[in-house]
Each structure stands twice: as C-alpha cells, then as structure tokens.
Amino acid sequence: MDAVATVPQSVGPASLGEVIAEAQRMLEQAGIESAGQEAFWIVEHGLRLPAHHVVADRDRLLSHAELLAVRRLVERRVGREPLQYILGTQEFCGLEFNVNPAVLIPRPETELLVEYVSQRIPAKRQATIVDACTGSGCIAVAIARLRPRARVIATDLSNPSLDVARQNASRHAVGERIIWLEGDLLGPLAEQELEGRVDVIVSNPPYIAEADWAMLQPELRLFEPRRALVAGPQGT
C-alpha cells in the first residue's frame, strides 16, 4: 500500500456545508483532481440524499452517525480507492452499472466496441453475439439493450465477476437474453452447439504488460482486479 497522509478532521457538530468543505479539503490534500465534485458525490451517497438537498440544506447539522458515514467514505477515497467502488456504480453507454472490486470499472473508450458491434447488427436481426471476458457485463448488457432481438453469450474466468454481470443484466431487464458462462475465453462455448451460428465475437480482454503494472496509478494498481488487466509480458 502507498503511504496515505492522515488529515485532521474537526470534532463536534458540523453542518452539511462544513462537511462538504472538509471532504473537499481532504481530497485536495490527497491529490484528487476533481476534489469538489467528488466531495459532493460522496456526501450525496453517504447521506442517501437527493442532489438538490445537498445543494439546498447546507446549514443542516448532521447527526454523529451521518458524520461518521461520510468521513468513512472520504477516508476510503483519500486512500485512493476508486470513486466508482465507493459509490458502487459507473455509467456506461448511458446505463448505470453496479461495480465492486471483483470487476474492472467500465471505461468510456470501451463504448466504441458497443457502438461498432451495434452498427453491424440490424435492429431486427435475431443475432447471436459472444462477449468474451465480460467483467461487469457492460458490453453484453449494453449490446442487449441496443439490439432487443439479439441473444448474448458472455464468458469470464471469474465467478464473482459473473455475479456482478448478472446483477447488471437484471438491473437493465436483459437477463433473459444473456447466458453467462464461467471459463477461459471461448472455451465454455464448446458445449453450446454454436458452430456456424455466431454473428459477432466481441471482447475487451486484459491488455497490460506485466512490467507496466507497477507504474500504474494507485486507484488501478491497488484496487482493480489484476487478473482483469494484466496479460503476460507483452500485455497480449
């Protein structure tokens, strides 16, 4: 673990506005770039408050339990845990995806894969699409949403990832059109009698070279699953 400086917090009662300011200060001191925005989101999440309350109720005094809840979340972010794991969600292709440390946080550039595949599958076609290395299921679920007649078969080596992917499919009401298979790349397809029936194979596999791992930013290196990212000496 990288060393993390502890930041003094005020004791005694504090208002919502003071807690947001304190969170922002702590995040700034930890070197978090968008500290103001992240402080707002953490407080909103920690207090389960709608955004407009966070804006409007700045003078409200927080209870001890509320204060603790927010400070625990801020400490996690100060320790460089990705905001998405703290909030438990990441937006991808306009949909919210559950994320936890079992899965890679979906990246915006991966949306290009979804766009590319969708452009090549006519909306009315009952296509069969394979998503190898599905992780959170973001590609599989986004394609299933965009192509309502398609069925998707998604694989991953990690069973905990597949649990998250299943949750995401249910969340977006496409669970019945996606089959989740645990195993190596396309290996689990062998028993699915798919010869000649697959229209597209899409994949965002691990892509980082082993030697590059140590140079990655702490959010990624300390918290995201290594197996989701590292792929041998060349990253291939």
Site of interaction with ligand SAM (CB under 6 A): 104, 106, 110, 133-136, 138-139, 155-158, 161, 184-185, 204-206, 227-229
61, β-bridge pairs? 15
Residue 24 or 161 having the CB closest to ligand SAM: 161
Beta strands 151-156 and 178-182 are parallel
Note whether 71 and 27 are within 8 A (CB): no
Residue 18 or 96 having the CB closest to ligand SAM: 96
Alpha-carbon distance of 115 to 224, in angstroms, equals 25
Residue 24 or 136 having the CB closest to ligand SAM: 136
- Placement of tokens 């400490």 in the chain: 75
How far apart are CB 225 and ligand SAM at their closest, in Å?
6
Kindly state the DSSP code that residue 92 receives in the 8-state scheme.
E
Query: With 0-12 CB in 10 A as exposed, 13-18 as middle and 19+ as buried, what is 79?
Result: middle
How far apart are CB 104 and ligand SAM at their closest, in Å?
4
How far apart are CB 50 and ligand SAM at their closest, in Å?
29
How far apart are CB 33 and ligand SAM at their closest, in Å?
22
Residue 129 or 133 having the CB closest to ligand SAM: 133
